[in-house]
Amino acid sequence: MPSIQEALKKALEKDANEWDKDQQRIDKEKTMPKHLFKPTNNASRATFHFIRDNPNLTQKQLAFELGARGFKETTVSSLVTQFIRSGFVQRVDGKLTALIQEYQPIKVKDFKKKVTIIKRRPTVEKTTQQHVDTKWDAQQLLSTLSIVQAKQLYTELKQIFSN
């Protein structure tokens, strides 16, 4: 193994072309292929094929069997529910059977009900109009007033008409 001093001397002796070659070699080493491996653990496909090949199993039995093969039971149970909603699998008396022969990827659907917002019209204030009777009777007015109110009315009218 060369010492640090020898490695530095060797690096300083290189010219620009050698540096470029080294950089190109490093760049080639850094580039990685886009797909390092082919996915083999497709839980959706395996679940569907298991339902198709083994009809009349319950969802619990199916989750247990696929769980023994390395799939999560909750994942399998969720996939079965999605298959039923998508119409690929049916459940009759708790037993699952495939309705189609070949696996199809599950298309995402929005299963929640859409909420529609109804905008309310702005409220308009009701204008109140005073009801004025054109026909009135002094006796009727005086009969509705108390003695104190009648005295106050008398003093107010006296001030109005005395000026």
Closest among 91, 86, 89 to 107, alpha carbons compared: 86
- Residue position matching structure tokens 């769980």: 67
Q: How confident is the model over 16-25, as pLDDT tens digits?
A: 667 677 777 7
Q: Is the pTM of this model over 0.85?
A: no
Under 8 Å between Cβ of 47 and 71: yes
Answer with the residue of higher pLDDT: 5 or 133: 5
Q: How confident is the model over 40-61, as pLDDT tens digits?
A: 558 888 899 999 999 899 999 9
Q: 43-98 in CATH: which number?
A: 1.10.10
Domain boundaries, the chain: 43-98
Neighbours of 98 (CB within 10 A): 19
